[in-house]
Amino acid sequence: MATGRTHRPATRSRGIPEATVARLPLYLRALTALSERSVPTVSSEELAAAAGVNSAKLRKDFSYLGSYGTRGVGYDVEYLVYQISRELGLTQDWPVVIVGIGNLGAALANYGGFASRGFRVAALIDADPSMAGKPVAGIPVQHTDDLEAIIEENGVSIGVIATPAGAAQQVCDRLVAAGVTSILNFAPTVLSVPDGVDVRKVDLSIELQILAFHEQRKAGEEAPGEGGADTTPPAAPPAAAVRRRGEESEQGPDGDVPAVMPA
């Protein structure tokens, strides 16, 4: 039970809200593009459009960083690029390791956007001995046995897990034990980590399921009277669990999908 926390209540450390932090990279990318086109300044309106957000939100986000920006003019692109980079910690180099060099791991290793912004692939690690030494994206794959040594030697604090689900927790534990305190998890599993370790997950399957939900919603609203069960009615509920559905006063008052009553 007390193995480790999975949720992260400690995020609200100081100052910048988590939602804002998550948008900073977006702003940074838009600003970088402007910088490459030698645009000297942008208004919040323009930048917001480029980043795909609301201009008020953008201004509030920036207000957490400080009062950069000039009223009546806008923001100095170069200056803002630097400020956001600094805030995100991109003025220094972050060595990362990728564990699990299958299809996905290899794709990640080859991904250009990695190195572009302060991140450097320090090592590729795989459990398959036959992969050892084989270069992927110009970097020789190393064996899992050396994981701890690699982490320590390179001062790695960010690890990327691209292993099968079954191996993820074990790899995670070893990474954490070796000193990694931030993990990006591509394996479809919930990772347990001790306090102080950040985990972010990227899960293709989950994203698709969320899309499917909305997709179904759209289809059901256009063509009503179709969104019922179309496969075999499933196992019956334990006893008399199927009863109300939107009865208390909550929920929408329109023709809802009735709870499937089997048996």
Partner DNA sequence: CCGTCTTTGTGCACACGTTCACAAAGACAT
Partner DNA sequence: ATGTCTTTGTGAACGTGTGCACAAAGACGG
Residues 18-37 binding a second copy (CB under 8 A) are 21-22, 24-26, 28-30
Residue type, position 190, single letter: V
91 binds a second copy (CB under 8 A): yes
The CB-of-198 to a second copy minimum distance in angstroms stands at: 5
The reply, when asked if residue 104 is annotated as ligand binding, is yes
The CB-of-51 to DNA minimum distance in angstroms stands at: 12
Positions touching DNA (CB under 7 A) are 7, 9, 12, 17-20, 42-45, 53-57, 59-60, 62-63, 67-75, 238-241, 243-244, 248, 250
153 binds a second copy (CB under 8 A): no
The reply, when asked if residue 103 is annotated as ligand binding, is yes
88 or 104, CB closer to DNA?
88
71 or 214, CB closer to DNA?
71
70 or 209, CB closer to DNA?
70
73 binds a second copy (CB under 8 A): yes
170 binds a second copy (CB under 8 A): no
Alpha-carbon distance of 222 to 68, in angstroms, equals 47
The reply, when asked if residue 72 is annotated as ligand binding, is no
The CB-of-91 to a second copy minimum distance in angstroms stands at: 5
Residues making up the binding site for NAD(+): 100-105
